[in-house]
Structure 1
Amino acid sequence: MSDKLLNIFVQSHAGSWAFIVILFIVSAIFYRQKITPMILRLFYLIMVVSGVGMLIGYSFPAKYVVKGIIAIVVIGLMEMILGRMKRGQGRESSTKILFAVWAVLIITVIMMGFGIF
């Protein structure tokens, strides 16, 4: 894989993570809207495709495979949280625990992406 293509994957991946965090927070605040979760799902797709492209470009290092697995769990948590909020279960303690787990995992994924872990 060329360095130029790999750089495209890296930049789109990092940008999509930034948009995902922002859109998730906006979707959680305005959980009755329908457009922000749809845009959020589009960025999930961009993030996953660019992440797989980077994995191929870097020849599947174990650290980034683990990061990818955690990222998929983060996406699942975001969807669970938004679904619970839409159903009116946003104030329950289990949803608050999911928010806490999401916060820990998103920080972990970002730190792994920047090479801190």
Structure 2
Amino acid sequence: MFDNTHAHITTWVIAIILFFVAVRLHNAGKAKGMKVVQMILRLFYLLIILTGALLFWKHQGINPALYGIKALVGIWVIGMLEMILVRMNKGKSTKMFWIQLIIALIIVLILGFQLPLGL
């Protein structure tokens, strides 16, 4: 089942879409809708971690250091997604978290495509 990355990529693409839907709902002042989307997004965080962990355990023998770094940066991305939404709800500044999200997302995508299971 985990000889390819289809399930993992599908979960993180859906999570990114849900993240931007939650941001749009917040900006539109629809707090209840945002809360529902945020709860669904948290489920997708777990699915991303689960599919990523299964891929990691199956393929870490190829290049364990880079797969480990990619896993840590992937957790960093998930943390930044959640921190942005939580701080938006509290009305606090999210600029630094957006910067970290962009940096971490670029790193994780570069590592993901560089590793043998990537392109």
> Where do 1:21-36 residues align within 5 Å?
21-31=16-26, 32=31, 33-36=34-37
Check conservation: 1:13, 1:50, Cα contact below 8 A. yes
Alpha-carbon RMSD across the aligned residues, in angstroms, is: 1.6
Q: Counterpart of 2:79?
A: 76
Shift of 1:7: 3.2
1:80 counterpart SS class: helix
1:27 counterpart SS class: helix
Q: Counterpart of 1:108?
A: 107
Query: How many angstroms apart in 2 are the aligned matches of 1:59 and 1:110?
Result: 17
Shift of 1:22: 1.2
Deviates more, 1:47-56 or 1:107-116: 107-116
> Where do 1:58-73 residues align within 5 Å?
58-60=59-61, 61-73=64-76
Q: Give the TM-score normalised by structure 2.
A: 0.81
Q: Counterpart of 1:7?
A: 3
Structure 2: gaps of 5 or more residues:
none
Query: How many angstroms apart in 2 are the aligned matches of 1:43 and 1:27?
Result: 13
2:60 counterpart SS class: coil
User: Residues 45-89 of structure 1, C-alpha deviation per residue, up to 9 Å, x if partnerless?
Assistant: 111111110111113521111111011111111111111100112
Q: Counterpart of 2:98?
A: 99
Residue type of the alignment partner of 1:7: D
Shift of 1:111: 1.8
Equivalent residue pairs, number:
107
Instruction: State, as a whole percentage, how many aligned pairs show the same letter.
Output: 35
Query: How many angstroms apart in 2 are the aligned matches of 1:56 and 1:20?
Result: 22
Shift of 1:29: 1.8
Q: Counterpart of 1:49?
A: 50
Q: Counterpart of 1:19?
A: 14
